[in-house]
Amino acid sequence: MKKILIILGHPVKDTFSDKLTTAYIEGALNSKAEIKSLKLSQLKFDINFSSGYRGNQELEPDLVMAQELITWADHLVFFYPNWWATFPALLKGFIDRTFLPGFAFRYTGKGRAHDKLLVGKTARLFVTMDNSPFYYRWVLGRPGHHAMKKAFLQFCGVNPVNISIIGPIKGSNEKKREKWLKKVKRLGKRLI
């Protein structure tokens, strides 16, 4: 049975990201996957990585639990909005504080070489945006996608990392949103 961890990285409650998350879960439950989830807006932790990699900033209980769930999961599914071409500070703070050396990767002492400690896991990113996906790709160069996929998840060994863009949300009608929800539910049913 596939173990899926869903991480909702939107800092605001009751958003379209919540609805997308619910649709994915409904699809995945039909596939008899084991599902656990984290709503970052409900976790209690300091998003400021104040000690950096010196390692003297103690993990809050919610982050210890998050690391246990990440270890447990085969597949990580992130839902978050694209803000200022990347992602919300809450999600960035979660990544900074949770995907630490010794947990997600380990430097080998040979220059920039490192061991990837999350090998064997896969991921999908569901990214909502108000911008045009065309503009995001060809004008802005997809900086948030590159950061999440290459600089973060693949750096730690998670591969493949697939990305689904949902948008533009702004100005979309109910029919369009329903289409997106059905698509996400189908992907959940396929466990990807």
Q: How far apart are CA 83 and CA 64, in angstroms?
A: 27
> What are 112-156's pLDDT values in tens digits?
788 999 999 999 999 999 988 887 888 887 888 999 999 999 999
> What are 3-37's pLDDT values in tens digits?
999 999 999 999 999 999 999 999 999 888 899 99
Average pLDDT on 155-174 reads: 95
Q: Which of 84, 82, 48, 45 lies closest to 65, judged by CA?
A: 45
Average pLDDT on 83-93 reads: 94
State residue 72's pLDDT score: 98
What is the CATH code for 3-8+31-189? 3.40.50.360
- What is the percent of the chain where pLDDT is above 70? 100
The answer to whether residue 75 scores a pLDDT higher than 90 is: yes
Answer with the residue of higher pLDDT: 34 or 56: 34
User: What is the DSSP code string of 70-100?
Assistant: HHH-SEEEEEEE--TTS--HHHHHHHHHHS-
pTM of the model: 0.94
Q: How far apart are CA 145 and CA 165, in angstroms?
A: 10
Average pLDDT on 59-77 reads: 97
